[in-house]
Amino acid sequence: MWAIGGLREIGFKPNSDLLMVLSSQGRGVFDCIKDEKIARDHFDYYAEKWDSDLGIVEGIGILKNENIKCGGFEAPDILKKETEDHWIIEIKSEIRPNWQQKELKADVMYLQNRKTKESIEIAVFHYGIDRSYGFSDTGNSFVVGTASDITIWNRK
């Protein structure tokens, strides 16, 4: 899990596992296979680099001079919700204990394989899923972005 103050939008470079992250603190690029932050700027006002109508932002670092489609806050969530080998995301409403051990209604996220019927619990959200989640085009990475962090899973 990576703390991201004021996370706004996320998106993958097409056909890769490179994740572009926009926040109130600037832009970042993550290699989701290595679970590493590989580029960062602190330009918190990137509005001239962000097209909110199209959900496109100019990349930095290894993504410099590329336009990356992102979503989650201003722009719609654009991440893939299924892989070519049948993994999907399912969100169920369940009663779960919170940090105070009180039983509350929560959104529970599962990765499920339609073919093998395997199911893996990923996360519990007591206050809803407020940004973006999904797979890279390769299907090798899965991310969940909230207002304050991103969590990365991969097949490595």
- 134-152 pLDDT, tens digit each: 999 999 999 999 888 999 9
Q: Is residue 24 part of a domain?
A: yes
Inside any domain, residue 17: yes
What is the structure's pLDDT at 109? 94
Half-sphere exposure of 75 (CA within 13 A, CB side): 20
| Residue 122 within a domain | no
Note down the domain range covering 70. 2-78
Q: Is residue 150 part of a domain?
A: no
The whole-chain average pLDDT of the chain stands at 90
d(CA 81, CA 74): 19
Number of domains in the chain: 1
Any domain includes 6: yes
Predicted confidence at residue 156, as pLDDT, reads 76
* pLDDT for the residue numbered 88: 95
Residue 119 lies inside a defined structural domain of this protein: no
Quick: pLDDT tens for 40-64: 988 765 666 777 788 898 899 999 9
Strand order in the sheet with 36-40: 7-12, 18-23, 26-31, 36-40
- What pLDDT does 46 receive? 61
Residue 126: is its pLDDT beyond 90?
A: no
Percent of the chain whose pLDDT exceeds 70: 97
In a domain, 107, yes or no: no
Reported as a single tens digit per residue, the pLDDT across 70-84 is 998 888 889 999 999
When comparing pLDDT for 50 and 89, which is higher? 89
Task: Decide if pLDDT at 97 tops 90.
Answer: no
Q: What is the pLDDT of residue 48?
A: 64
The answer as to whether 156 is a domain residue is no
The Cα 72–Cα 147 span in angstroms is 10
Nearest 5°: the CA angle 129, 134, 136 is: 155
Overall average pLDDT of the 3-16 stretch = 92
Tokens, residue 139: 């299907």
